[in-house]
Amino acid sequence: LQISPSQPFSLLAHSVNELRLSLQPISLGKVTVQLHVVDAISRHLVSAWLVCCHCVQPTVTKTTMISLPVGSGKPSNKRIHFTNPYSSRQVFHLVCSNPDILQFRDSVIQVDGSSSLPISLHFSPQTSPL
């Protein structure tokens, strides 16, 4: 869980004060996080929240068959094409569930609305079939 601002901040009386939360789940299931706002001077609790997230597996919308050499001792580089499903420019963060096998050349990509671009994949040398 990332919170912005991450440094001490001032709350304005009789107004809406905004905190930005960012959660990137690494596993499926329910995640519950306690969030406390504490007065930095008096150390008194100002407010508390229970943030509950239900993390589900994303829907697979496209599959690609890739052949990799086994036993060559050399890494492999491949490309796949990604299309932004939104009509406006978006920033996407690429994450792999097994970074020992696959890394991305660019882990963050910007794609114009409804446009496509290649994603470069770097596979570690394979000693046995996956």
Check residue 31 and give its pLDDT: 87
Contact of 96 with 127, CB cutoff 8 Å: no
Separation between Cα atoms, residue 127 and residue 107, nearest integer Å: 25
3-state secondary structure of 45: strand
Q: For residues 113 and 88, is the Cβ–Cβ distance under 8 A?
A: yes
Q: Report d(CA 18, CA 47) in Å as an integer.
A: 13
Contacts of 111 (CB under 8 A, 6+ apart): 82, 83, 84, 89, 90, 92, 117
Report the pLDDT value the prediction gives residue 8, as an integer from 0 to 100: 87
Say what the pTM is: 0.64
Q: pLDDT band at residue 82, thresholds of 50, 70 and 90?
A: very high
Evaluate if residue 103 carries a pLDDT over 80.
yes
- Convert 77-88 into a string of H (helix), E (strand) and C (coil): EEEEEEECCCCC
Q: What is the average pLDDT across 99-103? A: 95
57-80 per-position pLDDT tens digit? 888 888 999 988 888 889 999 999
